[in-house]
Amino acid sequence: MDLTFEYLKKKLKTKNISLSYQRLKVLEYLTQNRCHPTVEQIFTELQKDIPTLSKTTVYNTLRILAEAGLVKVIIIEDKETRYDIDTEDHGHFKCECCGTIFDFPIDIDSLIPEDLSKFKINDKNVYFKGLCPECLSNKNEFK
């Protein structure tokens, strides 16, 4: 799936979402920083370019992008909502030590049990927590 900045700009136009400078910058940030950023991270980084930027605008923009289906909201921890420009099904692994969030492929549909056949599924989420290889090896070093 094509997730270039240009592609997403076009997609926004087809959804009749106007592209202010602030919105463009948020979109650009998400395409260039595939680290599942929080509002805080996006805001802090973009403020360097747009000194007058307000957090409200970041919140507004992310809500609009999420409603338009261009961004997926990721909730792993309370008080730490994150945003992912990659809306295709995949899993997330959060390292409890360094906080990094890793993507991993997962065939969610193959897992859906018969029990849910009468449910309409709109959103699928899989996330794990634990320790990433780097933090694991750091721990062993200090043993």
The partner in contact with residue 38, picked from DNA, a second copy, none with C-beta cut-offs of 5 to 8 angstroms by kind, is: DNA
Q: How far is the CB of 109 from DNA (least distance, A)?
A: 28
Q: Is 140 in the site for a second copy (CB under 8 A)?
A: no
Residue 50 CA from chain centroid, whole number = 22
Q: Does 18 bind DNA (CB under 7 A)?
A: yes
Q: Which of 90, 60, 58, 54 is nearest to 72 (CA)?
A: 90
Shortest separation between residue 86's beta carbon and a second copy, angstroms:
15
Rounded alpha-carbon distances, angstroms, from residue 33 to 18, 28, 111, 137:
22, 8, 30, 26
Residue 19 is a binding residue for a second copy (CB under 8 A)? no
CA–centroid distance for 27 within its chain? 11
Q: How far is the CB of 84 from DNA (least distance, A)?
A: 14
Residue 73 in tokens: 């909201």
Closest CA to 22 of 3, 41, 49: 49
> Rule CB under 8 A: is residue 116 a binding residue for a second copy?
yes
What residue 125 binds from a second copy, DNA, none (CB within 5 to 8 A, per partner kind)?
a second copy
State yes or no: residue 39 binds DNA (CB under 7 A).
yes
- Cβ nearer to DNA, comparing 13 with 139: 13
Side chain identity at residue 143, one-letter code: K
Binding of residue 8 to DNA (CB under 7 A): no
